[in-house]
Structure 1
Amino acid sequence: MIRASIVLAAFAAVITPAISRAAPIVTPAVVRLDSPESTQQILVTGTGVGGRPIDLTRTVTYEVANPAIATIDPTGLLAPRADGRTELVVIAGADRVRVPIEVSGFATLRPVSFENDVIPLLTKATCNAGGCHGKAEGQNGFKLSVFGFDPVADHAAVVMEARGRRVFVAAPESSLLLLKGAGRVPHGGGKKLDEGTPRYRRLARWVAEGAAYGRGDAPPVVSLEVEPAQRLLALSGTQQIRVTAVDAAGGRRCVSAEAEYDSNAPSIAVVDRRGWVRASDIPGESAILVRYHGHVAVSRLTLPRPGVTFPRPAEANFVDRRVWDKLEQLGIPPSGLADDAEFLRRVYLDTIGTMPTPDEARTFFAAADPNKRAKLIDQLLDRPEYADYWAMKWADLLRVDRDAVNPKAAIAMTRWVRKQFAENRPFDQFARDILTARGNTAKEGPAAVYVVMSTPEELGRSMAQLFCGVRLACAQCHHHPSDRWGQDDYFALAGFFSGVTRKTIPGGGTAVTNGSGGDLKNPRTNTVVPTRALGAAAVAKFDGVVDRRNTLADWLSAPDNPYFAPAVANRIWAHYFGRGLVEPVDDIRPTNPATNEPLLADLAAHLRDGKYNLKAFTRTLLNSRTYQLTSRPLPGNADDAQNFSHAAAKALPAEVLLDAISRATGVPEKFNGWPEGYRAIELWDNRVPSYFFRIFGRPLRASVCECERSNEPSITQALHLMNSPEIAEKIRAKTGTARKLADSAKPPAEIVNELYLTALARLPTDQERLQMLKVFAEAGPDRRAATEDVLWALLNTKEFLYNH
């Protein structure tokens, strides 16, 4: 307590000069506590410089007129002691704010409800989390439903299982539930409750009252209110969050001490278990997710850097306008434009997954046309490698796995996907074809999707993640902990795929057909769930509908669909800019908002208005000044990782990196069973043996999540690049780049220039050229060794391994 007081006093001294003379605002204006274990978080808000709200909750002084009625701690948490009335005095400098307090429920106790009062305690203590008793097999013979989604079963597990030894009504303090929770007997999960706290007292009172389930007519919680819902926060500032649960009868009670908190951007702001947010010194935005009893809400905090102004750069299109707006709000200056070499390599690798050749680089550098970048973008979008690269990416997401669907089906599916991108098929039609696919999997088409994903449930959650950016997997077993979706939503969506059937046909293929299907049952409640799309009303009837999936496809591509266009726009943005506006890219939900919501809305509208023309959409992104910013940060934006003030460095995907090594060394990779000359981005066979693919994170296509591809650097990767015999053989190959240059009549300076153009798509700086010429000088007449050494060094640079 002494240490905490010192810290609070020091913090108060730092921020006091910024507080205006306006009296602080205290919420709630009146406090009503209706049970011995209820608490109320007080929130004190002052007015900072410029009229900006500033949190004073932990810097003011609190006094309760009659401490026998209620007490308050230095964090602003008020607790009752006896029935009666008194008042709280909040002292902020010369200001005094008085708050009436009314306490009831001591003389006539309200019975503790297991569902409404005990389940939240178990959740707060993480007892029913997946890492403890909430996992599928439970823990040490004690199993709870995850996050308390099945309170009836949980009550039986606590009270009746294990011969009732977990609760002891005659002596509540001797109940195993309390003994282990308070750490008075050994407990694998450690201490979860402090004796004497409101949570401990409530649990003990529940046991003393008979450990009953509770009244069936107790109004359930229907929503959460979070204060502040939105706030500008000073760098390194703090903010207390107050949470109010609202029940079906309109009742309100503070659950700030019982709610769970999580930050979606810990580098911007972190939050503790009491809802106290501490901001970092990095400008940006953080959404604080608040969970309580199956409900979620969010507090959005924006951290601007004060006093920063910069000349607003020119705008190429609406992308730049929205990005500059955000950077101005946050006080983050954008970097300058990338030079031609940086732009050239970036746009080649991003768009076609292929390095430019030295001749292509020279031609681009020499061109004086002011529109040469826009023209290059148009040329790249029309190259066959564009379709190859994007077919590879979508074959990953659609799980085109040779072992799961057989080689013929994998080839047919890959060819079909490539054709869609080569012909620039509108993406809504591409999605519709996948949703309604049928026919022989060995024939060109998307039917193989329905072989690798074989159940209505798997298809429903996969299509939601792919095309709506909604992760439904949690809702199969329990209510989604961070979103609105429950089990009924999960099985309602799966109902669209209930008619899909598969038949083996002569020759070993599979025919995907579709019958009438039917609504599915929720296996937990054993009730039939009417088929409906996400957030939509149930389909009135499917009479005369041959394929239920057509109804889902109509909903998906409808202009007013709130999920499809933002999900597609965010996924494509993430590819070109290194991170999504929503991150992860396939986890779009109100509690995980976009870092620039106006921009995402404009991108979605642009995609819809453009009839889902992916090349036109991509052209808009690539022609923006934002995309063409340099990756070299400024002092004012070096720590920005979410607002696109400078280009992000992106590790090359395994296939692109292997192709780049082959291009730089002049020696194509030979894949087992494949004709020579095929590039890695052209392979349909995801099971082709390759140690390189394995260590550099090529996905096995076991899920539809972008996260399956790993681009995290590792020591194994570094050692392989430095010591791999296969790469060394490419560098030393008789027909390779190094040997040809070494055997040519070019002087060392020209050889160095050519190696830089080949590996990095740029010429060396004067300093780099001098360093590399020293290698040739030290090698003497052995030009071959010097050339190979320079090429090896370039292949091991971060500049080669990353797109930037």
Structure 2
Amino acid sequence: MSKKEIELAELSLLMEALCEERLSAKESARLEEIVLSDPDAMQFYLNYSHLHGTLYWDQALGADAMIPVAAAVEEEIAEVEAVEEDGEITVIESIKRPTAPRRKHWVAGITSVCLLVTFMVVINSWLKKDDVPNLVDNSPNENAMPAGNNGTSENLAAVPSTKHSRSIHVEPSQHPMLRSHQGDSPQSLSDLPLIAAKPKQLAPVEQLPTGASDDAVITFINHRIQDGWAAANISPSPFASDEEWVRRVYLDVIGRIPTATEAEQFLKSTRPDKHQRLVKQLTENPTYVTNWSTIWTRLLIGRSMSREINRRALQDFLVQSFAENRPWSDIVYDLVSAEGDADTNGATNFLLAHLNNEAVPATAITTRLFLGTQIQCTQCHNHPFNDATQSQFWEINSFFKQTKVVRKKNMGEKGEAKEPKLALVSLSKGGTTFYETRQGLMQPAYPKFAGVKISDAPGVNRRQELARLMTSGKTNQLARAMVNRMWAHFFGYGFTRPVDDMGYHNSPTHPELLDQLSRQFVDSGYDIKQLIQWICLSDAYRLSSRFLEDNVADNPEDGSTPNFSRMYVKQMTAEQLYDSLQVTAKPTQIVTNYSTAWNKMQKRDQWLQQFVYTLENEENDETTTFDGTITQALLMMNGSLVKRSLDFKQDGTILTQALKERTPDARIRKLSLAALTRYPTSRELTELKRLVKERTKFLTARNVPLQSAVQQSYQDVYWAYLNSNEFILIH
């Protein structure tokens, strides 16, 4: 049986126990875990509940009126009750004389039959399979019922509920949800559990030593991911080609595709450690700094240019931090505790952008970005699926109550008035924060984080205390959130979905791997570059994006759990597309250091505004229309960036260089390498040469000069490359 079939078996039995009101607290927690982990399981839960309620309601309202009333016949019925004492289950049998007419048992029987038939239909639709797994060989004898000490079956799955008797008796050996795995040794019926067996548990994971070597950490990643494949019964795709991998790692680490020269240098290298060397080189590349400062500027304050903040000052702070490879804990501490002028201290701009609406946005985004927990919904009510409460939201919110945004007058050199300067000031005042419950009651909230209560006296700087608590302590939640986010950056999916909603209600796909990577990240001194190297040099990151028959089920797009048996295809971000189109136009214009990059980055930010829409809500959210819209398609077909790449009149452009090649083969190979980081296949090369020839002939027949016709023909080839899915996707 597959993992999903086993989980369905467990879910079906838990739902049966729920509907019969015999679900224990432990089973209730397991039911919640399954339902919240899979959209299909959630739909199954809703369908089952609706079906049970409908049948039960129909039976209660109209069944008796449709069945002739017969004389009551008294008979002795054995009632079985299971009692658990000191961890052992004792079956007690008693005799009870029912007073209800026989017709009620008949009604219950008909209802149970209908429920069972419809239930099997739901099972088939959930699994999307037409067949039911076969019984294993040497299955238990269906007629043999092992008896307990008092002659009663010890199999709890067959024990009738004490709330109402059941007319249909189903042998556990025949229950489709309790069939054994192929190849498993047969079990006696008394060994079968109430809840279907879980997937085979893997051996406990030994912790890596403190400060383990890079090779040890990478090996640990590989083993944990392989264990996930084994548990899911899937096989990984083969390794990606060097062409695929080098394009992928350039986009993920420095935010653009490699130039033809950079790609060719890697592809021609025969060094066995060329992958390790390239990742190391990329983390030392000046574009690494601009890329990651851009990523975190976008996460911290969004893409919108409308807020009264100094965007450049914030990015300057991030650029310096990433250039010096400062510990992530230090960067977060500065962002949370920052004070002073927005122009002087760039870190202040993070909170300056979110201190509106009683600091509700600041509270929500701080925990979401740095701790991987979403608490914004608890500002009004307790969380429905975890322990987060409304009081906890306002306890964290109270850390920001001393903070005030000050607008200072700003005069120009000639005395003219300019936009006011913003500053972040911490007031030396104490006191209690109050919030309103849904019942209209006012409740106090004191500054408290992770179980640690801070004094609300005037002399205590609450934000500094919050920053200290977030970046220290035994929970390592800061590290876990960063590791999860970085994994999602490189693979498209993190260990949890969404990546910033971690907790027991949202179990990670690879808990041991997340725990150990987080520990090693802390031991490394929160070294971001080292974390990137661990991920990029893992076997999972080197896999191809191609589906295989053995891992076609590993497709998180349909809601399934990611097992990372292949590289999931991602679309370029707007920033990656912009910078990559600069590479396809004129590689000499690539930014080599941040000091000369700001003007070009401003142009990019202005270009991005056509896709950005700010949402007027309490979380200061924004959305984009970049992903797969008509605007994006028109931009790629006719936009100025693509036109710049197709310019063959300007010296130094890729197209100009390609046209200088002597043969059609060399020209097409040059264009393919520049746009797609690979050489064309033999079939592709043959077809493109034929198309170029026909296009040239077509244009010259319309009195276009031969040289211009040839140039336009190769221009069309390059346009087709740039507008292909292969160009815009990270695969």
Question: In the alignment, is residue 410 of structure 1 matched against residue 328 of structure 2?
Answer: no
Q: Cα distance 1:745–1:382, how it changes in 2: closer, same or farther (>3 A)?
A: closer
Structure-to-structure mapping, 1:65-84, within 5 angstroms: none
Partner of 1:532: 448
Distance 2:654 2:661 in 1: 13
For the residue of structure 2 that corresponds to 1:756, the secondary structure is helix
**Aligned pair in 2 of structure 1 residues 777, 433: CA closer, same or farther (>3 Å)?**
same
Structure 2 counterparts to residues 330-409 of structure 1, below 5 A = 330-399=232-301, 403=305, 405-406=307-308, 409=310
CA gap 1:616/1:739 in 2 versus in 1, 3 angstroms: closer
Q: Residue by residue, what CA displacement relative to the aligned partner does 1:356-415 show, whole Å, maximum 9, x if unpaired?
A: 1111111111111100110000000011111111111111111166755546x2211111
Map residues 179-578 of structure 1 onto 2, 5 A cutoff. Answer: 316-399=218-301, 403=305, 405-406=307-308, 409-454=310-355, 455-507=358-410, 508-516=420-428, 517-524=430-437, 525-534=441-450, 536-539=451-454, 541-543=455-457, 545-578=459-492
Specify the alignment match of 1:665 in structure 2: 585
C-alpha offsets along residues 27-83 of structure 1, whole Å, 9 cap, x if unaligned?
999x9x9xxxx952689x9xxxxxxxxxxxxxxxxxxxxxxxxx99999999999xx
CA shift at 1:699, angstroms?
A: 7.9
Question: Out of 636, 654, 660, which is 1:721 matched to?
Answer: 636
SS in 2 for 1:448: helix
Deviations 1:554-607 (A, max 9, x none): 221224125221111100110011111111111112121111111111221121
Separation in 2 of the partners of 1:728 and 1:88? Answer: 82
**8 Å Cα contact 1:338/1:631 also seen in 2:** yes
8 A contact 2:13–2:196 mirrored in 1? no
Structure-2 change in CA distance of 1:337 and 1:490 (3 Å): same
* Cα separation, 2, equivalents of 1:401 and 1:792: 29
Maintained 8 Å contact 2:614/2:620? no
Tell me how far apart the structure 1 counterparts of residues 462 and 595 of structure 2 sit (CA, whole Å): 45
Deviations 1:229-265 (A, max 9, x none): xxxx9996999xxxxxxxxxxxxxx9x9xxxxxxxxx
- State the TM-score, normalized to the length of structure 2: 0.65
Q: Read off the aligned partner of 2:564 and give its amino acid letter.
A: F
Q: TM-score, normalised by structure 1?
A: 0.60
Distance 1:431 1:521 in 2: 27
Query: Aligned equivalents of 2:453 and 2:196: distance in 1?
Result: 33
Q: Indicate if the aligned counterparts of 1:414 and 1:684 stay in contact, CA closer than 8 A.
A: no
SS of equivalent residue, structure 2 residue 453 = coil
Q: Deviations over 1:166-221 (max 9, x none)?
A: xxxxxxxxxxxxxxxxxxxxxxxxxxxxxxx9xxxxxxxxxxxxxxxxxxxxxxxx
**Which letter does structure 1 place at the counterpart of 2:431?**
G
- Give the CA deviation at 1:744: 1.4
Q: Structure 2 unaligned runs (5+)?
A: 28-51, 65-74, 82-90, 101-110, 112-125, 134-160, 164-175, 178-194, 201-215, 411-419, 556-561, 698-705
Partners of 1:699 and 1:546 in 2: CA distance = 36
1:627 alignment partner, SS class: helix
Give the Cα–Cα distance (whole angstroms) in 1 for the partners of residues 258 and 92 of structure 2: 71
**Distance in 1 (alpha carbons) for counterparts of 2:616 and 2:595:** 25
Provide Cα deviations, 1:121-167, integer angstroms capped at 9, x if missing partner: xxxxxxxxxxxxxxxxxxxxxxxxxxxxxxxxxxxxxxxxxxxxxxx
Report the CA distance shift for 1:436/1:725 in structure 2 as closer, same or farther (over 3 A): closer
Provide the C-alpha distance between the structure 1 equivalents of 2:366 and 2:469, rounded to a whole number of angstroms.
Answer: 13
For the pair 1:765 / 2:657, whether they are aligned, the reply is: no
CA distance in 1, matches of 2:313, 2:492: 31
* AA aligned opposite 1:783: V
SS of residue paired to 2:424:
strand
Match of 2:45 in 1: none
Superposition pairs of residues 139-150 of structure 1, within 5 angstroms: none
Letter in 1 for 2:718: L
* Aligned partners of 1:495 and 1:518 also within 8 Å: no
What is the Cα deviation at residue 300 of structure 1?
A: 12
1:732 and 1:424, CA in 2 relative to 1: closer, same or farther beyond 3 A? same
In structure 1, the partner of 2:141 is none
Aligned twin of 1:229: none
Distance change (3 Å), C-alpha of 1:511 and 1:716: closer
SS of residue in 1 equivalent to 2:236: coil
| Greater fraction of residues in strand | 1
- Aligned counterpart, 1:116: none
Structure number having the greater helix percentage: 2
* Counterpart secondary structure, 1:683: helix
User: Which residue does the alignment assign to 1:608?
Assistant: 522
- Residues 1:575 and 1:489: Cα distance change in structure 2 (over 3 Å): same
Hey, what's the Cα distance between the residues in 2 that align with 1:769 and 1:715? 30
**CA deviation profile, 1:697-755 (whole Å, cap 9, x unmatched):** 69889898999466632344234323446633541352163651464142110000100
One-letter amino acid matched to 1:750: A
Q: Which residue of 2 aligns with 1:645?
A: 565
One-letter amino acid of the structure 2 residue matched with residue 595 of structure 1: T
Cα distance, 1:28–1:465 mapped onto 2, change above 3 Å? closer
C-alpha contact (below 8 Å) 2:247/2:257 kept by paired residues: yes
Matching residue's letter, 1:332: I
Letter of the structure 2 residue corresponding to residue 785 of structure 1? Q
Q: Percent identity?
A: 26
How far residue 631 of structure 1 moved from its aligned partner, in angstroms, is 1.3
In the other structure, the counterpart of 1:62 is none
In structure 2, the partner of 1:141 is none
Tell me, yes or no, if structure 1 residue 776 matches structure 2 residue 692.
yes
Counterparts of 2:339 and 2:360, CA distance in 1: 18
Q: Distance in 1 between matches of 2:97 and 2:23?
A: 15
CA distance in structure 2 between the aligned counterparts of 1:738 and 1:337, rounded to whole angstroms: 30
Residues 431, 458 of structure 2: 8 Å contact kept: no
Aligned residue pairs, count: 543
CA distance in 2, matches of 1:402, 1:28: 47
Distance in 2 of aligned mates of 1:405 and 1:732: 37
Distance 1:728 1:27 in 2: 60
CA distance, structure 2, for counterparts of residue 446 and residue 733 of structure 1: 44
Cα displacement (A) at 1:770: 1.1
The 1:74–1:677 alpha-carbon spacing in structure 2 relative to 1, beyond 3 Å, is same
Q: 1:245 — aligned with what? A: none
The structure-2 alpha-carbon separation of the partners of 1:616 and 1:301, relative to structure 1 and needing over 3 Å to count, comes to farther
Q: Write the letter of the residue equivalent to 2:711.
A: R
1:708–1:317: structure 2 CA closer, same or farther, 3 Å change rule?
Answer: farther
Structure 2 residue aligned with 1:40: 21
Q: What is the identity, as a one-letter code, of the residue corresponding to 2:230?
A: E
How many Å apart are 1:757 and its aligned residue? 1.0
Distance (Å, rounded) in 2 between the aligned partners of 1:591 and 1:101: 44
Q: 1:745 to 1:762 in 2, by over 3 A?
A: closer
In the alignment, which residue of structure 1 is the partner of 2:703?
none
* Offset at residue 473 of structure 1 (A): 1.0
Q: Which residue of 2 aligns with 1:136?
A: none
In the other structure, the counterpart of 2:504 is 590
For 1:142, the equivalent position in structure 2 comes to none
The AA in structure 2 aligned to 1:575 is H
2:722 matched residue in structure 1? 795
Correspondent of 1:635 among 533, 536, 549: 549
Letter in 1 for 2:240: A
Q: Counterparts of 1:349 and 1:737 in 2: how far apart (Å)?
A: 21
d(CA) in 2 for partners of 1:633 and 1:512?
A: 52
With CA pairs under 8 Å and 6+ residues apart, which has the higher RCO, 1 or 2?
2
Give CA deviations for 1:628-682 in whole Å, capped at 9, x if unaligned. Answer: 1111222111331311101111100011112212221338999xxxx998589x6
* Match in the other structure for 1:49: none
Give the letter aligned to residue 21 of structure 2. Q
Assess, with a 3 A threshold, how the Cα gap between structure 1 residues 39 and 723 changes in structure 2: closer, same or farther. same
SS at match of 1:40: coil
In the superposition, relative to structure 1, how do residues 739 and 469 fare at CA in structure 2: closer, same or farther (>3 Å)? closer
Is residue 501–residue 512 contact of structure 1 (8 Å, CA) maintained in 2? yes
